[in-house]
């Protein structure tokens, strides 16, 4: 399974946001084959005073495929106001 790591900074109406899309392993040891299983996740965090507010995501979504995750990441960059409330 391929790795994915996309990170972009958005500036909207004078506010900054980190848009992050990554691949990660599923870690539920009671399911066979989970060591090889990956999910993809996009999160958006506000940046305040040059610090990323990781404890308060503005958007969070998981995907089954890298293509879905990359497409949504791009869509957020193009039209962020459709994905999270400012």
Exposed / middle / buried, residue 69 (Cβ in 10 Å: 0-12, 13-18, 19+)? buried
Report the number of distinct structural domains present in the chain: 1
18-31 pLDDT, tens digit per residue, is 999 999 887 665 66
Looking only at the bridges linking them, the beta strands covering 5-12 and 15-25 are antiparallel
Q: Which residue has the higher pLDDT, 59 or 1?
A: 59
Residue 30 DSSP SS3: coil
How far CA 85 is from CA of 49, 60, 80, in Å, comes to 20, 12, 9
Residue 60 lies in domain = 5-82
32-80 pLDDT, tens digit per residue, is 666 667 889 999 999 999 999 999 999 999 999 999 999 999 999 999 9
């Amino acid at each position: 399974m391929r790795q994915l790591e996309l990170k972009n900074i958005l500036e909207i109406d004078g506010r900054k946001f980190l848009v992050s899309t990554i691949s990660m392993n599923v870690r539920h040891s009671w399911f066979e084959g989970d060591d090889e299983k990956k999910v993809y996740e996009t999160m958006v965090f506000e940046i305040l005073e040059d610090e990323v507010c990781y404890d308060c995501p503005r958007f969070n979504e998981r995907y089954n495929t890298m293509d879905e995750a990359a497409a949504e990441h791009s869509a957020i960059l193009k039209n962020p106001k459709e994905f999270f409330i400012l």
